[in-house]
Structure 1
Amino acid sequence: MMADNTAAIETEALPATDEARGAKRNKMLRILGLVVLVAALIWGAWYFLTQSGRVHTDNAYVGADSAVVTALVSGPVKEVRVAGTQAVRKGDILVILDDSDAKLALADAEATLRQARQRYGQAGANADAARARVSARGADIAQAQARLRDANATVAKARAELARRESIAGTGAVSGEDLAAARAAFVSATAARDLAAAGIASAEATRGSASGDLGAAEALVRGTTIQTAPDVAAAQARLEKAQLDLARTVIRAPVDGIVTNKQVQVGQRIAAGAPIMTIVPIDTAYVDANYKESQFEDIRIGQPVELVSDYYGGDVVFHGKVVGIAGGTGAAFSLIPAQNATGNWVKVVQRLPVRIALDPKELKAHPLRVGLSMEATIDTRGN
């Protein structure tokens, strides 16, 4: 009898235990749901307050406006003072070319300039000499004119003597010998007059020739100085070019940066215009972030950006700002642009590069290298 009562009591206790367990499980589920709901609300509030309006991409890469170093004159390489990956400052000597030919060209240009200056001085002296000859010919003309006046007076006197003797020749007062002498004197005076007149013409012709020489000599120096004379200026320009070519045998760094892609060795003969190395100015590096076209609704120039690089890890956060948006997608300017006017066209989301300028202080503290990948997040909440 007692065994039956015990079994009955145990049978009644089992449903009570299951009900308690179910109630406890339901309570735990409600608590878990409440925790999940609170966590979701907290996460939503955190996302709304900190992440809403932030546009993210990991398709971003470091870039820089690299400087390609080229030889401006040809010649054999005498010395190479830098190696690949070496940091250089603007003005540092990179390569020295053999300057023997350049020095010879400079000496030749200096001699040409001295010769041009000498010729200009000679032209000035010739002009002065021609001017003196013109003045001398003027004096010759004046002297010839004086002789002509004297000859005219002599002719007039001889004519008067001849006329007087001829007027009294019939009276027997003048002998035939005196009359002949008077006629000879008149003829001689007339000849002397004609000779004096010819002397004036000759002197004037000589002065004309001297004036022509003077014009030719003055044309070489008229309106110029020894600095502006064409031959002297041309020789000066040639000298300056020779000096420039000599200076260009020493190739210097055009910017601060890191030497990369070095393609020059000692003894190599390089041609003018040949690239010999590239200098990457890492201090002015920037980031090109390629965002999807669907992300551009709120992106504007001037917005702040946070960037993280695998090179330094998540502990180093770079700060920058949007400074430009490309005028077209990369596919639009590719060598073979995509042709979407086909029957099997499939839409592909395009990406547009966004140029991001980095904080120079942060960049100096943590230098980057061209081509490194970045993760960029633009804060668009300031729109």
Structure 2
Amino acid sequence: MVVGFVGGVLWVIFRPEPDVWTDDAYVRVHYATIAPRVSGHVAAVPVDDDDVVRAGDVLAQLDSHDFETAVAAAEAQVERDQAQSGDIGANIERQPALIDQAAAEVDAARARLAFAEADARRYDNLAATGAGTGQQRQQSDTTLKAAQAALRGAQAQLEANRRQLEVLKKQKSASDATTKGDQARLEQAKLNLGYTRILAPIDGMVGQRSVQVGNVVSPGATLMTVVPLREVYINANYREVDLIHMRTGQPVTIHVDAYDITLRGRVNAIPAASGASFAPIAPNNATGNFTKIVQRLPVRVDLEPDQPLAKLLRVGLSVETTVHTGLEDVVAEQAHDRRAVTGR
């Protein structure tokens, strides 16, 4: 009888336990920190702590007058750029006609030069025979030189008009680039104006409001937080020796101390590292006497849907969790499975 009693006690103490329990568990959530993207004077704060907001609701309004002025100035600059670009474009369209006109002037100068050359030869012949006067010969030579100069001038004007077309095209490219740059600045000015309305990025409850009307805020300064209570989960800190039969997807019973209620959940995944691994001051056991301490890993437990009582949960509440492992042989399963059976 004594042996049987001792054996029963030892069985109760050392038998494998399919349900793994811990009270080192808390409600957690990934909340959104609300901060402005531009600096400015706070004109209105229509929400307060614990208000329920929807995505897109206005959480704070900055004074927008300076930003409206910036938008108006940027619009005026873009309009001026577009007018300059249009003027250059009109000159480009007109330039071929000027080139044709200069080409016609070259043709006319060539015709006058041909006549002047023929006239000069005629007076040269007359002078050789004594029929012409010296004055007429000098006049014909002068007319010939003037015609030659006029041809060179017309040709130079034609070349200048052709080169001017290239110059105008370059100016048009530069003007278009300037317009694009000013349009980008206009878009940024409009974005900055839109940033004066600070909106809720997600559905949730407002918390940690620290902003008041009249404050001057800067980019990145925390104004409040929005906590998505529908997305809460449980961080259950289990000892590493409790993970031998634990894997992703196992059912979890969650007892909430605050309301004395029980909820259902599922193991999301076994974490990549223990809590101590991410501590600001990591433990260092490389020197001195060493005492082995069993580590704890924050196992994430997701709540199952369609549980009305889950709406009572608040971030930071302590809970008790029991993972029903069914004594699954995780080691043997992982040995024959290429996937990570303890991860997603």
TM-score, with length taken from structure 2? 0.86
Could you tell me which of 219, 226, 233 is aligned with 1:286?
233
Is structure 2 residue 5 aligned with structure 1 residue 58? no
Match of 1:345 in 2: 290
**Alignment-mate amino acid for residue 288 of structure 1:** N
Match of 1:194 in 2: 145
Match of 2:86 in 1: 121
Task: Write the mapping of 1:58-137 to structure 2, written as runs, cut at 5 A.
Answer: 58-137=23-102
**Alignment-mate amino acid for residue 183 of structure 2:** Q
Is structure 2 residue 264 aligned with structure 1 residue 305? no
Q: How many residues are aligned here?
A: 321
CA distance in 2, matches of 1:299, 1:130: 82
CA distance in 2, matches of 1:373, 1:379: 20
Is structure 2 residue 190 aligned with structure 1 residue 243? yes
**Alignment-mate amino acid for residue 221 of structure 1:** K
**Alignment-mate amino acid for residue 44 of structure 2:** E
Task: Kindly indicate whether the alpha-carbon contact (under 8 Å) linking 2:238 and 2:297 is maintained by their aligned counterparts in 1.
Answer: yes
Q: Whose Rg is larger?
A: 1
1:279-299 deviation digits (Å, cap 9, x = unpaired): 111101111111011111111
CA distance in 2, matches of 1:355, 1:365: 16
Q: CA deviation at 1:364?
A: 6.8
**Alignment-mate amino acid for residue 72 of structure 1:** R
Q: CA deviation at 1:343?
A: 3.9
SS in 1 for 2:264: strand
SS in 2 for 1:381: coil
Task: Kindly indicate whether the alpha-carbon contact (under 8 Å) linking 1:284 and 1:360 is maintained by their aligned counterparts in 2.
Answer: no
Match of 1:336 in 2: 281
CA distance in 2, matches of 1:249, 1:88: 18
Is structure 2 residue 139 aligned with structure 1 residue 159? no
Q: CA deviation at 1:53?
A: 1.2
In structure 2, list runs of 5 or more residues that go unmatched: 329-344
CA distance in 2, matches of 1:56, 1:213: 86
Task: Kindly indicate whether the alpha-carbon contact (under 8 Å) linking 2:28 and 2:234 is maintained by their aligned counterparts in 1.
Answer: yes
1:226-281 deviation digits (Å, cap 9, x = unpaired): 9xx21221121111111111111111111111111111001111012211111111
SS in 2 for 1:275: coil
Task: Kindly indicate whether the alpha-carbon contact (under 8 Å) linking 1:303 and 1:382 is maintained by their aligned counterparts in 2.
Answer: no
CA distance in 1, matches of 2:69, 2:85: 24
CA distance in 2, matches of 1:345, 1:237: 62
1:10-64 deviation digits (Å, cap 9, x = unpaired): xxxxxxxxxxxxxxxxxxxx9xx9xxx9xx89xx8xxx9xx94111111111111
Identity of aligned residues (%): 35
In structure 1, list runs of 5 or more residues that go unmatched: 1-29, 167-178
Provide closer, same or farther for how the CA distance between residues 55 and 184 of structure 1 changes in structure 2, counting only shifts above 3 A: same
**Alignment-mate amino acid for residue 361 of structure 1:** D
Match of 2:262 in 1: 317
Note the aligned Cα RMSD (angstroms).
2.5
Provide closer, same or farther for how the CA distance between residues 351 and 62 of structure 1 changes in structure 2, counting only shifts above 3 A: same
Q: Which one has a larger percent helix, Structure 1 or Structure 2?
A: 1
1:351-370 deviation digits (Å, cap 9, x = unpaired): 11111111232267533111
**Alignment-mate amino acid for residue 77 of structure 1:** V
Provide closer, same or farther for how the CA distance between residues 185 and 287 of structure 1 changes in structure 2, counting only shifts above 3 A: same
Could you tell me which of 250, 254, 262 is aligned with 2:201?
254
Q: Which moved more, 1:329-338 or 1:63-72?
A: 329-338
CA distance in 2, matches of 1:368, 1:119: 63
SS in 2 for 1:338: coil
Task: Kindly indicate whether the alpha-carbon contact (under 8 Å) linking 1:283 and 1:367 is maintained by their aligned counterparts in 2.
Answer: no
CA distance in 2, matches of 1:364, 1:335: 36
1:85-120 deviation digits (Å, cap 9, x = unpaired): 111111111111111101111111111111111111
Match of 2:341 in 1: none
